[in-house]
Structure 1
Amino acid sequence: QTVEMRGFRLCSSKRFVLILLQFSKESGGWFLSSTCSEGFAYDRRGRQCIDVDECRVIPDACRGDMRCVNQNGGYLCLPRGLYSQPYRPEVPALPEPYPDTGVGAGGYPDVSGGAGAYPESFVPGPPRSVEPSYPRVRGTAPCILGYTLAEDGTCNDIDECETNSHHCNPTQVCINTAGGYTCSCTEGYWLIGGQCHDIDECRYGYCQQLCANVAGSYSCSCNPGFVLNPDGRTCQDVDECEEEPCSHGCLNTYGSFMCNCDEGFELAADGTTCMDLDECSFSEFLCQNRCVNTPGSFTCICPPGYYVYEDGRSCEDYNECETGNNTCTVNQVCFNYQGGFTCLDPLQCPLPYVEVSDNQCMCAAENPQCRDKPFTILYRHMDLSSGRSVPADIFQMQATTRYPGAFYIFQIKSGNDGREFYMRQTSNVSATLVLTRPIKGPKVVVLDLEMVTVNNVINFRGSSIIRLTIYVSEHPF
């Protein structure tokens, strides 16, 4: 029979000392048999049953914070802090039979041991010099320790936790058991040195990400971009893109997200909105003429007289004379130049010149008025881009009629007031007009390029003129 008491357990077996007295014919008397009850061993020298010290012979007789106390015919498991004085119970010289009351010999309860982790027996003290500090159960008690007699004569368990008759320290929790009680710690605490100490769950990685230890428990949380799973410990990535936080495109990442913008836009400082990218501010050479920013892109615009080329950036001259988009009459000649056109009136030769072709006037040698004048005037037209880089060869002049023994001199006779041009003779019959300084347009320049013919054999000197009209455009293209 196992009985739980306040703070300890009594393990007793219904036993009694079986004393068999037999009469010996040889001795003519009686002798004590060597058959003893549980908890006793037969002593051959003394020829009697003596108590067995279970605290010494049974390994780990008591477990936990319990101390083993030997009893006559059994042992007790008692809390270590319950007693202040060492004590060894009195062992009777000779056990006598007792009625079957659940109480061992000598008036002590029969004990069969308890559970624990610290086996230890008391150090013997002076016999009967100190009164035991634990309750003693007399053989005449109707109920064992840890129980109380009810009115109906039955033994009821005493709830030491309810009656506050336990010896658990303030940090522990009392748990009532049959015939006794147990001191334990609540969840989140562990027992160290008889005291309940908080378990730091965060130290042992209870949480996947963030952990906050609290008394007796802990709390898990997640970093931004994650949400706590129903298990309360692990974290799940949040797909922020489902809430469409970006003004253009969104890319979910582990714990966060990234916004991207369409072509022609850039991400603002807030990381979510997209601002138009002003491509025109990147370079003044993005467009040949003028750049106009548009949402997500840009547009190149050309001045009047030009159109945007296939590359979308360059400006190409619009030939109004070829397309017929001009205002010239049928009697006029349409001349196209960069960025515009002009209508040339029919040639009218000044006197004493006469027209010999659509662009040439001649002064006859037999006419006395033509003696000091150029023999012919040839009319030419050309266009020139504004600010053209220099030096540049722009026009070539060559003698068409050659006389034996003659040589030729090429020069600019008029129109070169700004010294922008000069004639470079390339052979004895040709020369090139060279642009030496950039000219800003729009502007019209008229040059008289003279070719002087000299023949010393026949003592002849004459000249011809090319009247070159140059239309300088407003733009450098």
Structure 2
Amino acid sequence: MSPQTCTEGFAYDRRARQCIDVDECRTLPDACRGDMRCVNQNGGYLCIPRTYSDTSCILGYTLAEDGTCNDIDECETNSHHCNPTQVCINTAGGYTCSCTEGYWLIGGQCQDIDECRYGYCQQLCANVPGSYSCSCNPGFILNPDSRTCLDVNECEDEPCSHRCFNTYGSFMCNCDEGFELAADGTSCIDLDECSFSEFLCQHRCVNAPGSFSCICPPGYYVYEDGRSCEDINECDTGNNTCTTAQVCFNFQGGYTCLDPLQCHSPYIEVSDNQCMCSAENPACRDKPFTILYRHMDLSSGRSVPADIFQMQATTRYPGAFYIFQIKSGNEGREFYMRQTSNVSATLILARPIKGPREVVLDLEMVTVNNVINFRGSSIIRLTIFVSEHPF
């Protein structure tokens, strides 16, 4: 029997959630015919002669000393027939068997209503005999209506080291740039950017809280990109120790002060960087005609092979040909000469050179003229400053 279906003579009261007696004497027009008087009963009604009702009391009433009929309270006198699970409710001339709140009448028995089956709670529900209780999942609190749940803004308690974002039923932590979220989900730990790659900085990477910086060795400055190293030209900036008599020569990562040229006898100075041995001087017969002094710089570990210096005859004689060779300074065989034309050659770096190092090569150009039986030579004394670093 559903809660809305009651036995004949009873109707379901939605507010009380139970079946209550129907007063047919009020609801049925002409319930009794003629002079018969209608008397409501529990679950029905009686039609009795008026003469009888004027002298005697009907069922459910008792005659009082003053001659009136008073209602019998069957519930108080325990003269009802409700079963032990029911509650007796007295009515005029009778009584009603009902159930307490939280129970409904099924098959004459009061059975507990499982409120949890009918969605009384928004989230968590616990049924108890005759009642129920609601609760909420973590991240929510119960509203004053004791049924619905309200999201808790966990960020108000500042659980995150850096930034907190409230979500429905929970929250999420984020970290500032340069930090990463720890295993606990709330703390932020510094991100060691330098461990990501050895190519992050051209020279050396230094980690800092939330960031990193690149540093360069002495003689260099950090370029605009914040990672590359650029050579400081001490000769241009004036930040050098060269005297006015010396010449400042800049190379990658440093500089050197070149003393004024001194030509040793029998050579004489013909320019700032050239010594000559006159053919008219007998002491010059087996010596190179000229010695030209040149300087250049080279990065440490430069990839090979690499063309690094050009050499060319400046004067051509009819019938003459030229031989280019490395006369001295190439004991490690890092270099070789490749003749590129009849009158020119290129110095090739064949093996990488690690710095810092200073290499002095004598590059010889031999002039041969078989027509006049002439053989002479000139020297380029090339000083190469190899930097300590590959940049």
Q: How far apart in 2 are the matches of 1:312 and 1:8? A: 92
Aligned ranges 1:406-417 → 2 under 5 Å: 406-417=320-331
Residue matched to 1:327: 241
Q: Deviations over 1:191-219 (max 9, x none)?
A: 11111111122211122222222221222
Describe the shift of the 1:423–1:365 C-alpha distance in structure 2 as closer, same or farther (beyond 3 A): same
The structural deviation recorded for 1:8 is 8.8
- 1:346 is paired with a residue of what secondary structure? coil
Q: How far apart in 1 are the matches of 2:152 and 2:253? A: 61
The structural deviation recorded for 1:355 is 1.4
Aligned ranges 1:377-392 → 2 under 5 Å: 377-392=291-306
Aligned ranges 1:240-389 → 2 under 5 Å: 240-389=154-303
Output the amino acid matched with 2:311: M
Q: How far apart in 1 are the matches of 2:385 and 2:312? A: 22
Describe the shift of the 1:362–1:62 C-alpha distance in structure 2 as closer, same or farther (beyond 3 A): farther
Describe the shift of the 1:416–1:9 C-alpha distance in structure 2 as closer, same or farther (beyond 3 A): closer
Q: How far apart in 2 are the matches of 1:448 and 1:98? A: 153
- 1:426 is paired with a residue of what secondary structure? strand
Identical positions, percent: 84
Contact in 2 for aligned 1:268/1:275 (Cα 8 Å):
yes
1:180 paired residue among 54, 74, 94: 94
Output the amino acid matched with 1:38: M
Output the amino acid matched with 2:269: E
Q: Deviations over 1:338-366 (max 9, x none)?
A: 00011111111122211111111111112
Describe the shift of the 1:369–1:198 C-alpha distance in structure 2 as closer, same or farther (beyond 3 A): same
Question: Gapped runs of 5+ residues in structure 1?
Answer: 1-6, 13-34, 41-60, 75-96, 104-138
Q: Deviations over 1:362-416 (max 9, x none)?
A: 1111222211111111111111111111111111111111111101111111111
Describe the shift of the 1:318–1:38 C-alpha distance in structure 2 as closer, same or farther (beyond 3 A): same
The structural deviation recorded for 1:179 is 3.0
Matched, 1:165 2:165: no
Q: How far apart in 1 are the matches of 2:168 and 2:41? A: 55
Contact in 1 for aligned 2:37/2:50 (Cα 8 Å):
no
Q: How far apart in 1 are the matches of 2:222 and 2:22? A: 106
Residue matched to 1:38: 36
Matched, 1:424 2:338: yes
Q: Deviations over 1:119-140 (max 9, x none)?
A: xxxxxxxxxxxxxxxxxxxx6x
Contact in 2 for aligned 1:9/1:180 (Cα 8 Å):
no
2:357 paired residue among 428, 433, 443: 443
Residue matched to 1:457: 371
Q: How far apart in 2 are the matches of 1:151 and 1:203? A: 55
Q: How far apart in 2 are the matches of 1:433 and 1:474? A: 22
Contact in 2 for aligned 1:363/1:375 (Cα 8 Å):
yes
Contact in 2 for aligned 1:206/1:233 (Cα 8 Å):
yes
Question: Gapped runs of 5+ residues in structure 2?
Answer: 1-19, 26-32
- 2:194 is paired with a residue of what secondary structure? helix
Q: How far apart in 2 are the matches of 1:344 and 1:8? A: 125
Describe the shift of the 1:322–1:316 C-alpha distance in structure 2 as closer, same or farther (beyond 3 A): same
Residue matched to 2:5: none
2:317 paired residue among 384, 396, 403: 403
Higher CA-based Rg: 1
Contact in 1 for aligned 2:41/2:94 (Cα 8 Å):
no
Q: Deviations over 1:63-105 (max 9, x none)?
A: 8xx4x69x7x55xxxxxxxxxxxxxxxxxxxxxx9855447xx
The structural deviation recorded for 1:240 is 2.1
Residue matched to 1:219: 133
Q: How far apart in 2 are the matches of 1:437 and 1:242? A: 66
The structural deviation recorded for 1:152 is 6.0
More divergent stretch after superposition (163-172 vs 349-358):
163-172
2:116 paired residue among 168, 191, 202: 202
The structural deviation recorded for 1:62 is 8.2
Contact in 2 for aligned 1:227/1:235 (Cα 8 Å):
yes
- 1:350 is paired with a residue of what secondary structure? coil
Describe the shift of the 1:204–1:36 C-alpha distance in structure 2 as closer, same or farther (beyond 3 A): closer
TM-score computed with the length of structure 2 as normaliser: 0.86
Q: How far apart in 1 are the matches of 2:349 and 2:301? A: 11
The structural deviation recorded for 1:275 is 1.6
**Please, what is the CA RMSD of the aligned residues?**
2.8
Output the amino acid matched with 1:377: I
Contact in 2 for aligned 1:245/1:272 (Cα 8 Å):
yes
Aligned ranges 1:43-82 → 2 under 5 Å: 66=43
Q: Deviations over 1:207-236 (max 9, x none)?
A: 222222222122222222222222222222
Relative to total residues, which structure has the larger strand share, 1 or 2?
2
Q: How far apart in 2 are the matches of 1:229 and 1:237? A: 10
Residue matched to 1:53: none
The structural deviation recorded for 1:238 is 2.1
Q: How far apart in 2 are the matches of 1:251 and 1:311? A: 34
Output the amino acid matched with 2:95: Y
Contact in 2 for aligned 1:302/1:308 (Cα 8 Å):
yes
Number of residue equivalences: 366
- 2:341 is paired with a residue of what secondary structure? coil
TM-score computed with the length of structure 1 as normaliser: 0.71
Matched, 1:234 2:148: yes
The structural deviation recorded for 1:333 is 1.2
